């Protein structure tokens, strides 16, 4: 990495934005300039990067001038409003929202799964949904060995998926309940502390919520296979950070658990966590802050001779969002797919 790039983080003050900032520093991304962008209410705040306090600027048409790469994590409406402006100014946008994921002209990329798709970008690359990323990183190596026919997923999703305010809400509700008070929901529709409920994203006519359909549609696009049968049930659980997923896979022929463990033990982005004698397997508390997706409790499905079961946990803010975006940026640099922006007259 001999070149240096001018980077802008759109949504810098959010949970994912702050993680992006930390990752750019810890992974020593080759940047020469860093611009922190957010809404008007965040202007005046400062965030630290490599010992320096950087000011937060309001996002505007001029904010993307002389920027090579935009890491966007400010929601779908914000991305739709600003991504094309950034691209027209000469930048490549890696977008963490759902705004462009299913656009056929926008690559949906997980570097451990389909890095080649990044080469087809036309200025925007989409980051998949967190649950999709975590599942795909674990399932893809098995799928490469023997194509999977059907995936049944059940997710146990932490508060972090709804942002920093949701995490604080769970803490506040927990304290209230322990003090004998009534918990008050604000970010979520119902109390999450000491509780769980099906994911509260909008439902379609088939009774599937938006979060569940993201896992279906995004996985098919990333795997470049519309024939895979996928169903999911997504649930919010009172965990601060890191999602968990129970995955059932059906193959054309039997797939031994021993072979699956051997494959996953050497797969990128995966860490095998199993101690059957101690009944010790991946836990969200241990996945928090980790780059890898923790996978374990791999076993044959006793109800189907071609079935395989596994359990995984992954940090939703990290690999489920910010880390995947930074890895895409590193991929663009490595493959020389990120060119310095053309200077725009002021």
Q: Is residue 313 annotated as a catalytic residue, yes or no? A: no
Helix (H) or strand (E) run with residue 308 in it: strand 307-314
What does the DSSP assignment read for 137-173? HHHHHHHHHS-EEEEEEEEEE-GGGG-HHHHHHHHHH
Establish whether 16 is an annotated binding residue. yes
With CA atoms as reference, report the closest residue to 156 among 94, 237, 264: 237
Q: What is the Rg, in whole angstroms, of the alpha carbon atoms belonging to the chain?
A: 20
Establish whether 160 is an annotated binding residue. yes
Q: Residues 130, 199, 234, 313: which is the catalytic one? A: 130
Q: Is residue 144 annotated as a catalytic residue, yes or no? A: no
Establish whether 246 is an annotated binding residue. no
Residues contacting 193, CB < 8 A, separation 6+ = 170, 173, 174, 176, 177, 183, 238
Task: Please check whether residue 71 is in contact with residue 326, taking contact to mean a CB–CB distance below 8 angstroms.
Answer: yes
Establish whether 220 is an annotated binding residue. no
Distance CA 66, CA 55 (A): 18
Task: Please check whether residue 314 is in contact with residue 294, taking contact to mean a CB–CB distance below 8 angstroms.
Answer: yes
Query: What is the residue whose two structure tokens read 């009944």?
Result: 279
Establish whether 15 is an annotated binding residue. yes
Q: Residues 199, 234, 243, 313: which is the catalytic one? A: 243
Establish whether 236 is an annotated binding residue. yes
End-to-end CA distance of the chain: 30
Task: Please check whether residue 248 is in contact with residue 152, taking contact to mean a CB–CB distance below 8 angstroms.
Answer: yes
Establish whether 316 is an annotated binding residue. yes
Cα three-residue angle 251-112-33, rounded to 5 degrees = 160
Establish whether 101 is an annotated binding residue. yes
Establish whether 161 is an annotated binding residue. yes
Distance CA 148, CA 230 (A): 10
Binding residues for substrate: 157, 210, 236
Binding residues: 13-16, 41-42, 101, 157, 160-161, 210, 236, 316
Catalytic residue annotation: 130, 243
Binding residues for NADP(+): 13-16, 41-42, 160-161, 316
């Amino acid at each position: 990495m001999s070149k240096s790039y001018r980077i802008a983080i759109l949504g810098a003050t959010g949970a994912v934005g702050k993680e992006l900032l930390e990752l750019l520093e810890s992974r020593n991304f080759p940047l020469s300039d860093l611009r922190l962008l957010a809404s008007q209410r965040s202007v005046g705040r400062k965030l630290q990067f490599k010992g320096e306090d950087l000011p937060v600027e309001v996002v505007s048409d001029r904010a993307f001038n002389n920027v090579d790469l935009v890491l966007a994590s400010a929601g779908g409406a914000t991305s739709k409003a600003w991504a094309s402006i950034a691209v027209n100014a000469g930048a490549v946008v890696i977008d963490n929202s759902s705004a462009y994921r299913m656009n056929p002209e926008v690559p949906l990329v997980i570097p451990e799964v389909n890095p080649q798709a990044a080469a087809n970008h036309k200025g925007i690359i989409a980051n998949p949904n967190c649950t999709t990323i975590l599942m795909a990183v674990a399932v893809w190596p098995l799928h490469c060995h023997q194509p999977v026919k059907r995936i049944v997923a059940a997710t146990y999703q932490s508060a972090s998926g709804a942002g920093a305010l949701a995490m604080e809400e769970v803490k506040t509700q927990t304290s209230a309940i322990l003090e004998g008070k009534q918990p008050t929901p604000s970010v979520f529709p119902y109390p999450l502390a000491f509780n769980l409920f099906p994911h509260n994203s909008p439902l379609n006519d088939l009774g599937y919520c938006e979060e569940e359909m993201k896992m279906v549609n995004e996985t098919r696009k990333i795997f470049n296979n519309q024939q895979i049968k996928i169903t999911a049930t997504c649930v919010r659980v009172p965990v601060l950070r890191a999602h968990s997923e129970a995955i059932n896979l059906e193959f054309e022929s039997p797939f031994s658990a021993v072979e699956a463990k051997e494959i996953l033990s050497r797969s990128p982005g995966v860490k095998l966590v199993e101690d059957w004698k101690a009944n010790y397997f991946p836990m969200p508390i241990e996945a928090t802050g980790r780059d890898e997706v923790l996978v374990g409790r791999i076993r044959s499905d006793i109800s189907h001779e071609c079935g395989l079961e596994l359990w995984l946990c992954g940090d939703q803010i990290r690999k489920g969002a910010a880390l995947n975006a930074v890895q895409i940026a590193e991929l663009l640099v490595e493959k020389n797919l990120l060119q310095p922006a053309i200077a725009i007259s002021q």
